[in-house]
A and B are shown apart, each in its own frame.
Chain A
């Protein structure tokens, strides 16, 4: 179980140019944090820093769990559920296969039916992913999040391409995740649809 995430004096530099400088924030389990900011303010960079893909130019991120604090980026990644702005869907594989592969890769229970039903694409289970719409691919991404069983969800534009019902579904999933002690950090321009703190990134 995760307890909290703390970022201290976080500075991100991309291509010799500082994106943000000395960023401090803290999120506790059960909380949602919305990362806001203009295009290029570093929302995606911040998510990739937290996921451990990028290393900060200075400062650090610590994830506190009930088993101790984790400062190493790759170790932190084992607690992270990721929904990026790329869909991570293979056109040649069908929906069920895609999700079953993901479940085995993450070493979690592999009954995909209830998860597909929850995100509303159970009827497309046998369909090759090349026939999915952008919104349906996003729903598949939400299904992966649910399946991952990870405590910290990092979402980059979670509402992009989703219809009204899909947005409500995404908000419901986030709310339920927070209610069970999970943590959500989402970069979005849209209102999240649930109670959340916000972090505004200003261009450095």
Chain B
């Protein structure tokens, strides 16, 4: 683990884990949302199990949004992005490294936490499995779409406020297929949601580095 690409991934992970990083913040937010909803809805376990997929997916997407600003904003503001742009890595490789680091520090922990939170909703085991799998497949897409938004808004002051408005509509397919996979499992139907989610995630992860690199180029010239 010593090449330029790996060193960038490791640095971003390290920054995410330290004070001022937002990896723990996103997890805590996710856990709080998932705790508050059953308290608000009440102890109707049938109802809770029905809405678990949707609520946890929306919670995971919002939690991931919290940590998106650190993806490029910090490096842009303090001039690190200039130095990174002049490194032997192309901006596409930089975007892929940052996408990976964001998923490892946000998407993966959220996925690992989800079975525990599913307990609060009384989600049966097949539903929990579907939730876990759909988050594992879908959270890379959240990071990928998020990276495009983060790179696009990076020279805007208070860009963090407009970021959700750009990203959330684009993530609608992930939420629909992800939550659909969970309800499908509850009804013992195979509705193909996981397959569609996989296709969406693959497309997002493949295209995102190119789009994000183009946005970074635009902003470095700004």
Contacts and interface: CB of A to CB of B under 8 A. Distances in A.
Interface of A: 48, 51, 53-55, 74, 77-78, 80, 82, 84-93, 97, 101-102, 104-107, 110, 144, 150
B89 to A, nearest CB: 7
Given A55-B221, A92-B15, A86 B79 contact: yes
How large, as a class, is the contact surface on chain B?
20 to 34
Interface stretch (B2-10, B27-35, B150-158, B175-183): B2-10
10 contacts: A48-B220, A51-B82, A53-B220, A82-B82, A82-B86, A85-B79, A90-B78, A105-B83, A106-B4, A144-B83
A86 B80 CA distance: 8
A82 B83 contact: yes
B21 interface: yes
A77 B91 CA distance: 12
B18 interface: yes
Interface string B63-107: 000000000001001111011111111110000000000000000
Interface of B: 2-4, 6-8, 10-11, 14-15, 18-21, 74, 77-80, 82-91, 220-221
A80 B156 CA distance: 27
Nearest to B14: A93
Residue from B77, B80, B83, B84 with most neighbouring chain A CB atoms (10 Å) = B83
A87 B79 contact: yes
Contacts of A92: 15, 18-21
A180 to B, nearest CB: 20
Nearest to B91: A74
Contacts of A89: 78
Contacts of B15: 90, 92-93
Given A92-B21, A105-B89, 10 more contacts: A48-B221, A51-B82, A82-B82, A82-B83, A85-B79, A88-B83, A90-B15, A93-B15, A105-B7, A105-B83
Residue from A54, A91, A92, A105 with most neighbouring chain B CB atoms (10 Å) = A105
A106 B88 contact: yes
B85 A77 contact: yes
A179 B203 CA distance: 51
Contacts of A101: 7, 10-11
A126 to B, nearest CB: 15
A84 B82 contact: yes
A104 B86 contact: no
A53 B221 contact: yes
Contacts of B10: 101
Contacts of A78: 86, 88
Contacts of A102: 83
B65 to A, nearest CB: 22
Nearest to B10: A101
A123 to B, nearest CB: 23
